[in-house]
Amino acid sequence: MSVGTDRLIPVGTALVAVVAAAFTHGVLQLLPEVSFAAHAWMMFGVLIAVGILGTGLWCETQPDGIGMITAIGVLPLAGGAIWGGLWPAMTEWGAIGLAFPGQTPPVAWWASSTVKWVGLAAILGGGYYWLYRKNFD
């Protein structure tokens, strides 16, 4: 791999991160109002996901190959990062009644901590199960 091509992956990852952040910001403008903190967490989740995918792509293109780390191999982690970034917004969208500082607001069933953790487990477990089946069948 030439030096110019080797530098394309980090630069491309940074450009994709900027485009993904801009797209996410545009989509968030269409959704119901969320706080700045929830907005920031969603943006952070998308940026982390793009960073994870860029790292997987970089590891995949290294001559010695770095273990099982590939762009497809980190897809469940990237999906989990996006899902984790949605948690604060889910809490705000699912809030029922008034929320007082220092107290956890009552939320709809789909915004509960149980659904968040089960969703994360399903994304990671299902994603890696799919990768395992894809690679060994």
CA-based max dimension of the chain: 59
107 secondary structure, DSSP code: B
What CA–CA distances, in Å, run from 129 to 27, 66, 110, 118, 122?
31, 21, 24, 15, 10
The rounded distance, in Å, linking the Cα atoms of 92 and 105 is: 9
Burial of 20 from C-beta contacts in 10 A (0-12 / 13-18 / 19+): middle
Boundaries of every domain in the chain: 3-136
How many whole angstroms separate alpha carbon 94 and alpha carbon 49?
24
pTM of the full structure: 0.82
Structure tokens, 119: 């969703």
pLDDT in tens, the chain (137 residues): 455 666 777 888 888 888 988 888 888 888 778 888 898 999 999 999 999 998 888 888 887 767 668 888 899 999 999 999 999 999 988 988 877 788 777 899 999 999 999 999 999 999 999 988 887 76
